[in-house]
């Protein structure tokens, strides 16, 4: 069994229109939400083997905050340029190429692709939008990542910063 967390980057800043989309930093809310969501994940007693992120500044920074909050080493973060504005097909390809030693992975990426991909994985839940710093988690029954596409998948949880902790 493998666990995949789809994590949309935290809220980014639109203050400076001269900054390219790729280089947009996190805003204050994003800097607050990312550690909060990492801590919620830690409360689930869940350990991530690898964090895989789009190299865009806002996604990479979100992943780095999770890395720090979860007590992970820098070498446990992998940047994949394909995840920058990835289509659902690209998410499949990235997952199918992962190292089979990694059982629990977190992918940090962008809308609309991350929400579209989440909605292809299970009929148990549909989301209109994974909010910034939202986590859509599911399990896949497989031994090798190359078999991801045909593996049985089941929804685990969906959480986001404005979701109440009950």
Strand partners, 52: 78, 107
Beta carbons within 8 Å of 114's beta carbon, 6+ residues apart? 6, 8, 86, 91, 107, 130, 136
Closest CA to 124 of 97, 158, 91: 158
Question: Do residues 139 and 40 lie in contact, with contact meaning Cβ atoms separated by under 8 Å?
Answer: no
Give per-residue pLDDT as tens, 25-83.
999 999 999 999 999 999 999 899 999 999 999 999 999 999 999 999 999 999 999 99
Domains along the chain with CATH numbers: 2-12+23-159 (3.40.50.1240)
pLDDT, tens digit, 9 for 90 and up, residues 117-142: 999 998 888 999 999 999 999 999 99
pLDDT at 165 exceeding the cut of 60: no
Q: Give the pLDDT score at 111.
A: 97
pLDDT over 60 (residue 166): no
């Amino acid at each position: 069994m493998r666990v995949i967390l789809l994590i949309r980057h935290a809220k980014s800043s639109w203050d400076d229109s001269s900054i390219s989309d790729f280089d947009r930093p996190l805003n204050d809310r994003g800097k607050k939400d990312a550690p909060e969501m990492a801590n919620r994940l830690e409360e689930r007693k869940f350990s991530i083997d690898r964090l895989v992120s789009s190299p865009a500044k806002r996604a990479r920074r979100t992943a780095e905050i999770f890395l720090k909050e979860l007590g992970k080493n820098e070498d446990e973060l992998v940047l994949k340029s394909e995840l920058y504005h990835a289509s659902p097909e690209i998410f499949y390809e990235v997952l199918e190429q992962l190292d089979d030693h990694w059982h629990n992975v977190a992918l940090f990426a962008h809308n609309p692709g991350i929400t579209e991909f989440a909605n292809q994985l299970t009929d148990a839940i549909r989301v209109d939008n994974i909010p910034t710093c939202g986590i859509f988690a599911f399990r896949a029954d497989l031994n090798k990542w190359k078999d991801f596409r045909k593996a049985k998948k089941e929804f685990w949880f969906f959480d986001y910063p404005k979701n109440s902790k009950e």
